[in-house]
């Protein structure tokens, strides 16, 4: 079957760095997406990785290792507004997104 695993909840301190991991097993691979979802709001796109390596976009970076079925989202210089759920999703061979259950990130002052 297809499976995406990510931690349920993480806590970090304002100004610090946090890494949210995602492991996947899917039928086919056409890229991995990270989305941010604030409570009561729509998910919004953060990043897309299809090749191995690190993609940096401001305070956020995303890493992919296809051989290990592994990705992480790295958030630097954490701000209170980064408190949200972070969703990992893999596009399978049918171009459908397979989603993880999301990681709720709590930022403390």
Partner 1 sequence: ETGVTQTPRHLVMGMTNKKSLKCEQHLGHNAMYWYKQSAKKPLELMFVYNFKEQTENNSVPSRFSPECPNSSHLFLHLHTLQPEDSALYLCASSQEIAPSYEQYFGPGTRLTVT
For partner 1, the closer of residues 61 and 96 by Cβ is 96
Which of positions 3-42 make contact with partner 1 (CB under 8 A)?
4, 8, 30-31, 33, 41-42
44 binds partner 1 (CB under 8 A): yes
Residue 80 CB neighbour total at 10 angstroms: 9
43 binds partner 1 (CB under 8 A): yes
Q: How would you class 84 by CB atoms within 10 Å of its CB: exposed for 0-12, middle for 13-18, buried for 19 or more?
A: buried
75 binds partner 1 (CB under 8 A): no
Q: Which residue has the tokens 């399978």?
A: 92
Q: Which of 33-61 are b and which e, b meaning 16 or more Cβ less than 10 Å from the residue's Cβ? A: bbbbeeeeeebeebbebeeeeeeeeeebb
Q: How far is the CB of 16 from partner 1 (least distance, A)?
A: 25
For partner 1, the closer of residues 21 and 31 by Cβ is 31
Size of the site for partner 1 (CB under 8 A): 23
70 binds partner 1 (CB under 8 A): no
Q: How would you class 77 by CB atoms within 10 Å of its CB: exposed for 0-12, middle for 13-18, buried for 19 or more?
A: exposed
User: Site residues (CB under 8 A) for partner 1?
Assistant: 4, 8, 30-31, 33, 41-45, 48, 50, 87, 89, 91, 95-102
């Amino acid at each position: 079957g297809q499976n995406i695993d990510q931690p349920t909840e993480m806590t970090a301190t304002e100004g610090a760095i946090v890494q949210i991991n995602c492991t996947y097993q899917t039928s086919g691979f056409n890229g991995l997406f990270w989305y941010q979802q604030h409570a009561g709001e729509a998910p919004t796109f953060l990043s897309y990785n299809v090749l191995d390596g690190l993609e940096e976009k401001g305070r956020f970076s995303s890493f992919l290792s296809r051989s290990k079925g592994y990705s992480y989202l790295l958030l630097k210089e954490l701000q209170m507004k980064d408190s949200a759920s972070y969703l990992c999703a893999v596009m399978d061979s049918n171009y459908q997104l397979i989603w993880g259950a999301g990681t709720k990130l709590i930022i403390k002052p």
